[in-house]
Amino acid sequence: MAFISNAASGSSALPRAAQPQAKKIGFRAAQNLAKQRSYERKAKNYRLPMGELAIFTQQIASLLNAGLPLVQCLEALQDQTEDPVFRIIIRDVRADISSGNSFSVAVKKYPRAFNTLFISMVEAGEASGALAEILSKVAAYFESSVKLTKKVKSAMTYPIAVIGLAIVLVNVLLIFVIPVFAELFASVGKALPMPTQMLIDTSHFMRTNILWIILAAVGAWYAFKKFIETPKGRRLKDLALVRAPIFGSLVRKIALSRFARTYATLIRSGVPILRTLEIVSAASNKVQIEDACVEIAKHVSQGGQVSEVLATNPFFPPMMKHMVKAGESTGNVDGMLNKTADFYDTECEATVAALTSLIEPLLIVFLGVFVGGIVMAMFLPIFNLAGAVGGLD
């Protein structure tokens, strides 16, 4: 009867000492469920970093080469993936394949995680029955792209950090230090040199309009980002990047390397040339390459050759034109383009090294002139005052 009474009253059959622990476990379970649902919502629009995609592609290619079924490969990768959102994606892809769909159909549902190149290569691998071999080629392509991107980013980290530090330092001088000198000079009551007066006026303007300056800077940055997302803005941005005096050569070489390697990888894997050009255009992220791919597709569909279009396009250097023409005459276009991509990768590494050695002295000169000019402008009245006192003596 006591047992029935306790059950009817709705109280827990656990001892009172265990009830807080049970509540804590229930709270953790609810928290984990909420996290899981949050990850599932993010999965549809999750953008997988290129480095993670390269690792995933290499691992699945290795497991397939070892003789494991695709579903079992995905199950193993799901267990060892640390990214919780990507784990959800792999789980759903594996479930989709288990229900009878193909690998390419399953990954198409996550276009931001698996890019167009990956999806197209999976389709080519399924059609040819050499999925593992083709995924190995894709993994090598991704790894080379990631390696080149890391080198460029590491080379740019130092100048960006120095320029950012210089901007912060100049703003601190203008907003906090120069007003102290301005009060000191005002107490003397003498006319200031033009550089000093201009600097004090700039400092006064920034102190009184700092909020508007910040809002204007944020608004200008937002408007610029929106503009470069438009077709006209993208075109102007890419033209400006390629024609930039210091970095333009590097940007162009990276675009040429990506074009050559992507084209070679797709052609070697058996992807039709028109589909190859679509993927190369989408992967290039440069309007010059996109325009060239459209022109090449029209020319090839009319019976022409790729080298004929490259010969008339100023974006492509003569070496690439001759390499493609030689590949077409020998039936080895993919081999020639791979060699071209290797050449431009080497050129990019050399350019990055040269830019790194060139940027350091340029930054030193920039900081010396800019910050040193501010310091000199502030000390000019003191020097003039000291000279006047010396003349009286």
Structural domains of the chain sorted by starting position, each given as residue range(s) with its CATH number in brackets: 50-114 (1.20.81.30), 143-393 (1.20.81.30)
* More confident: 36 or 72: 72
287, two tokens: 């309007």
Q: Is the pLDDT of residue 220 over 90?
A: yes
Both structure tokens of 283: 């992967």
Tell me: pLDDT of 171 over 50. yes
Amino acid at 256: L
Q: Distance between CA 275 and CA 297 in Å, rounded?
A: 9
CA distance 5 to 333: 85
Least confident of 28-37, 45-54, 127-136, 237-246: 28-37
238 vs 286: CA distance, rounded Å: 6
By the 8 A CB rule, do 90 and 78 touch?
yes
| pLDDT for position 106 | 92
CB–CB of 237/228 below 8 Å?
Answer: yes
What amino acid is encoded at 77 in this protein?
L
Q: For residue 198, is pLDDT > 80?
A: yes
Q: Quick check: 283 pLDDT over 90?
A: no
Interatomic CA distance for residues 20 and 9, integer angstroms: 19
Q: What mean pLDDT do residues 360-383 have?
A: 82
Give one word for 48, left, alpha or beta, with left for phi > 0 and alpha for psi -120 to 50.
beta
Most confident of 145-154, 325-334, 351-360: 325-334
- 182: tokens are 């301005």
Q: Which residue has the tokens 């009172």?
A: 16
- Taking residues 343-354, what's their average pLDDT? 86
Sign of CA dihedral 257, 259, 260, 264: positive
The percent of residues in the chain predicted with pLDDT above 90, rounded, is: 23
State the burial class of residue 336 (Cβ atoms within 10 Å of its Cβ: 0-12, 13-18, 19+): buried
Question: How many Cβ atoms sit within 10 Å of the Cβ of residue 325?
Answer: 18
Q: 235, 287 in Cβ contact below 8 A?
A: yes
pLDDT at 210: 87
Place of tokens 């310091």: 375
Determine the pLDDT at residue 56.
92
Find out whether 156 and 358 touch, Cβ atoms under 8 Å. Answer: no
Token pair 């079924």 is found at 69
Band (9; pLDDT cuts 50, 70, 90): very low
Which residue has tokens 């000191």?
A: 184
pLDDT band per the 50, 70, 90 thresholds, residue 2: very low
Reported as a single tens digit per residue, the pLDDT across 235-267 is: 999 999 888 887 888 889 989 988 998 898 888
Lowest mean per-residue pLDDT among 50-64, 181-195, 259-273, 336-350: 181-195
Q: Supply 329's token pair.
A: 């005459």
Q: Tokens 């590097």 label which residue?
A: 250
- Work out the pLDDT band at 24, boundaries 50, 70, 90: low
Q: What percent of the chain has pLDDT over 70?
A: 89
What pLDDT is stored for residue 167 in this prediction? 84
Q: Would you mind telling me the total number of residues written for the chain in this entry?
A: 393
CA distance 236 to 286: 11
281 within 8 A of 291, measured Cβ to Cβ: no
Structure tokens at 306: 């790729």
